[in-house]
Copies of this chain bind each other. A is one copy, B any other.
Amino acid sequence: MTIDIKISEVGPRDGLQSIQRVMPTEDKKVWLQALFDAGIPEIEVGSFVPASLLPQMADTAEIVRFATGLNGLVVAVLVPNLTGLKNAVEAGAHKVSIPFSMSETHSMKNVRKNHAEMLDEVGRCIGFLQTLPEENRPRFEVGLSTAFGCTLEGPVPEARVIKMAAAVVELGADEVGLSDTTGYGNPQQLKRLAQGIWRACGTEKMSGVHLHNTRGQGLANALMAVELGFTTIDSSLGGIGGCPFAPGASGNIVTEDLVWMLESMGLNTGIDLPKLLATREIVEKALPGEPLYGFLAAAGLPLQSPHDSKHG
* Residues in chain A within 8 A of chain B (CB atoms): 149-155, 182-184, 186-189, 213-217, 219-220, 222-224, 248, 250-251, 254, 257, 260-261, 264-266, 294-296, 299-300, 302-305
Q: Is the CB of B302 within 8 A of A261?
A: no
Q: Pick the contact of A299 from B215, B261, B264 — CB < 8 Å?
A: B215
Chain B min CB distance to A136 (Å): 40
Q: With A and B bound together, what is the CA distance between A224 and B303 in angstroms?
A: 24
B188 touches A296 (CB 8 A): no
**Chain A, interface SS category:** loop
Report the bound CA distance from A152 to B304 in whole Å. 10
Q: Which residue of B lies closest to A293 (CB)?
A: B216
Contact of A304 with B155 in the complex, beta carbons under 8 Å: yes
Task: Give the distance to chain B from A17, nearest Cβ to Cβ, in Å.
Answer: 20
Assess the A257–B216 pair: CB atoms within 8 A: yes
Residues of B within 8 A of A154 (CB): 302-305
Distance of A17 Cα from B59 Cα, bound (Å): 52
Q: Could you tell me the distance between the alpha carbons of A222 and B261 in the complex, rounded to whole angstroms?
A: 13
Given contacts A149-B302, A188-B265, contact A260 B223 (CB under 8 A): no
Q: With the chains together, A295 CA to B189 CA distance in Å?
A: 19
In the complex, the 5 A-B pairs of residues with the closest C-beta atoms, listed nearest first: A216-B295, A154-B304, A186-B264, A216-B257, A219-B220
